[in-house]
Structure 1
Amino acid sequence: MNARRSVFAGTWYPGNAAECEKEINNFLKAGEVRLTSDRTLSGGIVPHAGWYFSGSIACNVIHCLAEEEPPDVIVVFGMHLGPGSPCYIMTEGAWETPFGEIQIEKSLADELTQKFTFKIETAQRFTQDNTIELQLPFIKYFFEDVRIIPIGVPPAASSLEIGRAVAEISTRLGLQMKVIGSTDLTHYGLNYGFTPKGTGSGAIDWVRNENDRRIIDKMLAMDPLGVINEALKSQNACCAGAAATAIATAKHLGADRAESIAYASSYDKHPGDSFVGYVGIVF
């Protein structure tokens, strides 16, 4: 067995291809994304809650990337890591999805491991991680033959060097590439031990219009270090390293502008005193 199994299929998202496709079609109908220009996209930011809560946003970001010539490889940055955490990468094999396996882009992954220190994950030995896995059915559906590199990066300036190297190495190898950063936004409420504005409508408005807005503005400004610093200060992104490194990669691929396509929170689906914010961005 050289394929990493899907841990969250059948719970956080449907466990078979037919049900996944049905959900994807519903997400596309509900999303109705219209970008403000026809520029070539280098990547995007996606949320990673269960599909019921944030699948529509993630699906529509990845669909926007699929409107162009398919790339050879998609690098997906994710994982819930702290500033002192190591980096993670899977360098060979495949990752299982309901639509079939996605192969790892070995040549690019091998060069990255020669340049940086990673904890190497394999099909048999890995950290259970929703941040990357929940994107993979969308990627496989819209990019049938694409290869991936799943990478976990902490919210640290050193992670941005990995993003730059990903862009430089892929270009040198002649690989057409797109990049995705996976993060949710503010985790608010007693469930998350974060209640600076108490409870009720005031807290909901503060998260949506102030705390999440600050990190979104840093993302839209394509300011990777600003994303990391803002998240560490305000607790408004759970995987700021992934988002920031995706932005750094995209900038080195030539992206110079970002656009938000959707914002929502789990409160919209399940009102309560504990909730999480989500954003979809393309660049």
Structure 2
Amino acid sequence: MTRFPIVAGQFYPAGQKNLKKQIEKCFSSEFGPGSLPAQKNEKTIGIISPHAGYAFSGPCQASAYKEIAESKADLFIILGLSHSGFPSCLSMEDWKTPFGTVKTDKEFQNQLSGELPVDESAHASEHSIEVQLPFLQFVNNKPRIAPIIASHDLPCKGLAEKIFKAIKTTNKKPIIIASSDFTHYGLSYGYMPFEKNIKENMYRLDKQAIKEIMALKAEEFLKYIRETKATICGKYPIAVLIELCKKIGAEKACLINYYTSGDIIQDYSSAVGYAAIKVI
């Protein structure tokens, strides 16, 4: 079975040629890394990457994916979220994109399925993993993936332990990808804790959350979100990434790129923050 794209033609071009052009543009953008990937970074264990439309979050995604270009990893564990509220679950299907089919690592997912349920319906209507795949295909030849929704139903340490156990059992050398946008500000998002100096306040709000991520403090990161009610949609994928990367041997995380959609269109009345972070 194959999971077909649901936001091709909306979040990113549906045609292979135009998709390649847009991703190349994301890499060369003033909001992105400024150039196409030139060499791999062997030390990177994980990345945090946004999942909005490429016109907005694409340059930030490019900054993250440049860090894992031509990686020797034999598995990319992609931690998405469920905007619809589904609990944590796996997908066993291969995933189709305009660049072709991305194979799911059946051995790994079968091992993990003893700990987590398989629910293709939860993945069928969720875009947070799908939007990562064209960038992953662009920087790595024929990657194998483990698509996982990380949700509110399981403690982050517990889910990280389940995934780590499967990594050890299958002897994989993975890179972990957490899919998340940062603060969603505006009436349409139901979040307006400030009405003046919106850009500065969004930066301040997100940078404090990023500070906890960079310190690899998952519980403090989640506590900060509870206290501020910051609308960071992928908080659970991020927290699981932190705990999982620490088990693999991570020592720190580094902020690579940050901006908001308001910076692109110069309108902050309804804006979303995007961050590219690497864990090493």
Question: Of 40, 44, 62, which aligns to 1:41?
Answer: 44
Shift of residue 39, structure 1, vs aligned partner: 5.9
CA distance in 2, matches of 1:235, 1:108: 35
Q: Is the 8 A contact 1:156 1:241 kept in 2?
A: no
Structure 2 vs 1, CA of residues 98 and 39 (structure 1 numbering), >3 Å: closer, same or farther? closer
1:45-194 equivalences under 5 Å are 45-69=48-72, 71-80=73-82, 86-91=87-92, 93-116=93-116, 118-121=117-120, 126-155=123-152, 158-194=155-191
CA distance in 1, matches of 2:274, 2:268: 16
Shift of residue 67, structure 1, vs aligned partner: 4.6
SS at match of 1:215: helix
Is residue 261 from structure 1 mapped to residue 256 from structure 2 by the alignment? yes
CA distance in 1, matches of 2:42, 2:112: 29
Q: Deviations over 1:94-143 (max 9, x none)?
A: 10011101111111112222123x35216xx7441121111011112222
Question: Of 240, 245, 248, which aligns to 1:245?
Answer: 240
Gaps of 5+ in 2: none
Shift of residue 87, structure 1, vs aligned partner: 0.7
Deviates more, 1:43-52 or 1:18-27: 18-27
Q: Deviations over 1:230-264 (max 9, x none)?
A: 22332331110011111212111111111111001
Gaps of 5+ in 1: none
Shift of residue 68, structure 1, vs aligned partner: 3.6
SS at match of 1:135: helix
Structure 2 vs 1, CA of residues 12 and 250 (structure 1 numbering), >3 Å: closer, same or farther? same
Shift of residue 219, structure 1, vs aligned partner: 1.0
Q: Is the 8 A contact 1:79 1:239 kept in 2?
A: yes
Shift of residue 29, structure 1, vs aligned partner: 2.2
Shift of residue 155, structure 1, vs aligned partner: 4.3
Question: Of 226, 229, 232, which aligns to 2:223?
Answer: 229
Instruction: Give, as a single letter, the amino acid of the residue that structure 2 aligns with 1:32.
Output: G
Structure 2 vs 1, CA of residues 174 and 263 (structure 1 numbering), >3 Å: closer, same or farther? same
CA distance in 2, matches of 1:67, 1:264: 26
Q: Is the 8 A contact 1:132 1:150 kept in 2?
A: yes
SS at match of 1:179: strand
Structure 2 vs 1, CA of residues 27 and 126 (structure 1 numbering), >3 Å: closer, same or farther? closer
Shift of residue 85, structure 1, vs aligned partner: 5.2
1:198-217 equivalences under 5 Å are 198=195, 200=196, 202-208=197-203, 210-217=204-211
TM-score by length of 1: 0.88
Q: Is the 8 A contact 1:157 1:225 kept in 2?
A: no
1:18-33 equivalences under 5 Å are 18-30=17-29, 31-32=33-34
Shift of residue 152, structure 1, vs aligned partner: 1.0
TM-score by length of 2: 0.89
Q: Deviations over 1:217-239 (max 9, x none)?
A: 11111112222222233233111
**Percent identical across equivalent pairs?**
26
SS at match of 2:241: helix
Query: Structure 1 runs of 4+ off > 4 angstroms?
Result: none
CA distance in 2, matches of 1:232, 1:127: 29
Q: Is the 8 A contact 1:46 1:180 kept in 2?
A: yes
SS at match of 1:115: coil
CA distance in 2, matches of 1:80, 1:142: 26
Instruction: Give, as a single letter, the amino acid of the residue that structure 2 aligns with 1:22.
Output: K
